[in-house]
Amino acid sequence: MKKFEYLKPHTLDEALILLDQYGGRARLIAGGTDVIVMIKQKEISPDVLISLQEIPDLDRINYNGSLSMGPMVTHRAIEKSEIIRKNFSALTDAVDVLGSVQIRNVATIGGNISTAAPSADTAAPLLALGARVKLKSMKTERTIPIEQFFTGPGETVLQKDDILTEIIIPKPLPNTGSAYWKHQRRGALDLPILGVAVLLSLDKATVTCSDLLCTASPISTVLHSLEGDEVFCKEVRIALGVAAPTPMRAIDAEKLLRSKKISDELLEEVAETAAKEAQPRDSIRGEAWYRRDMIKVLVKRMAMKSIERVLKPEETVFPVRLW
């Protein structure tokens, strides 16, 4: 492996100065689970690694209705956060199945989205949760919606001298549920064939027949029985991973559902539309036709799961199997 210098700034300002000084010769390192692999595979060969490890507070999680995370928050910390599990479930779903416990102990959310792999597991949930990211350099500071962050496979708006300093998830509307499904071939240490995240905010005021929701019947049956109760979708975001060169929102599909009465048939149509919007490709990890088919299946399942999480908030635990 190529030799490099390893710098450990103690403040964010120090890190920004170093980054400015070394320019393209330097790389930031967080948990190192992507960056070291890239160096070993000779995809990059930085002379200097600037570690964010010693900078205090970058691993903080703050919650006051909205959520703020430093880039150095590890996947394991997210996994263990009850607040996130309860209010931003899709993100928990993602880190629950990211790599392995050993990887999650060191790998960070900042690193995950900065690498910008089309398969990055936290990307689709962050899109669905409507996250914004704060980017900082010596000269500038800006906060942008995460949709604008990804520009291509492995590419982001981050400039050479930028540090991603914060990820902010806005306070969800009342009666919101979210879910992410990583469609993978193994139970661990795998990248998704497809990732699907859905967030749904319901107009639940009119839902009366709540005893029905305590039954074990599938949510489609539940919805069917609730038809008279008119469950409306107030807000929806559908995000897909590995379905296009960057993690994407299925905007047309969302439009179809927003402010509509939710029904089995409508969800079916929404999922079909999402599949049409996506541009999955063939690779050794999966074939395009299959990915497209799975969008149809999984968007619907994630929508159901989100509804279930609104209606049964105490049951946020994600099942190993969905069917």
Ligand X SMILES: Cc1cc2nc3c(=O)[nH]c(=O)nc-3n(C[C@H](O)[C@H](O)[C@H](O)COP(=O)(O)OP(=O)(O)OC[C@H]3O[C@@H](n4cnc5c(N)ncnc54)[C@H](O)[C@@H]3O)c2cc1C
According to the binding rule CB under 6 A, does residue 78 interact with ligand X?
no
In terms of Cα–Cα distance, which of 298, 79, 75, 91 is closest to 183? Answer: 298
CA angle 169, 175, 180 (to 5 degrees): 55
Residue type for 250, please? A
- Asked if 65 and 171 touch (Cβ cutoff 8 Å), the reply is yes
Under 8 Å between Cβ of 251 and 214: no
101: contact with ligand X by CB under 6 A = no
- Between 186 and 211, CB nearer to another protein: 186
269 binds, among another protein, ligand X, none (CB under 5 to 8 A by kind): none
β-bridge partners, 8:
none
Report the distance separating Cα 84 and Cα 74, nearest Å: 13
The one-letter amino acid code at 34 reads D
Judged by CB under 6 A, the stretch of 95-103, 145-153, 276-284, 290-298 that binds ligand X is: 95-103
- Closer CB to another protein, 119 or 156, in the complex: 119
| Residue 90 contacts which entry, another protein, ligand X, none (Cβ below 5-8 A, type-dependent) | none
Of these partners, another protein, ligand X, none, which one is at the site of residue 108 (CB under 5 to 8 Å by kind)?
ligand X
- Residues 7 and 49: beta-carbon distance below 8 Å: yes
Site residues for another protein per CB under 8 A: 1, 100, 183, 185-191, 284-287, 290, 293-294, 297-298, 321-323
CB of 323 to another protein, least distance (A): 5
Number of residues forming the site for ligand X (CB under 6 A): 30
Rule CB under 6 A: say whether 98 interacts with ligand X: yes
Owner of token pair 């939710």:
262
Residue 137 beta carbon to another protein: minimum distance, rounded to whole angstroms: 33
Determine, following the binding rule CB under 6 A, whether residue 172 of this chain makes contact with ligand X.
no
Q: List the structure tokens of 103.
A: 């990887």
Q: Which is nearer to another protein, 71 or 192 (CB)?
A: 192
Going by C-alpha positions, the residue among 304, 248, 236, 306 that lies closest to residue 275 is 248
293 binds, among another protein, ligand X, none (CB under 5 to 8 A by kind): another protein
User: What does 99 bind: ligand X, another protein, none (CB cut-off 5 to 8 Å by kind)?
Assistant: ligand X
Token readout for 136 is 């900082």
Least gap, CB of 54 to ligand X (angstroms): 13
- Kindly give the pairing relationship between strand 155-156 and strand 48-51: unpaired
How far is Cα 210 from Cα 90, in angstroms, rounded to an integer?
A: 24
Residue 49 or 294 with smaller CB distance to another protein = 294
Tokens 């149509």 -> residue: 269
120 binds ligand X (CB under 6 A): yes
Kindly state whether residue 29 participates in binding ligand X, applying the rule CB under 6 A: yes
Examine residue 31 and tell whether it contacts ligand X (CB under 6 A).
yes
Nearer to ligand X, 114 or 316 (CB): 114
CA distance 197 to 92: 11
Instruction: Give CA–CA dist 251/256, Å, rounded.
Output: 9
Judged by the rule CB under 6 A, the positions of this chain that interact with ligand X are 27-35, 37, 52, 71, 98-99, 103, 107-108, 110-112, 114-115, 119-121, 158, 163-164, 189, 191
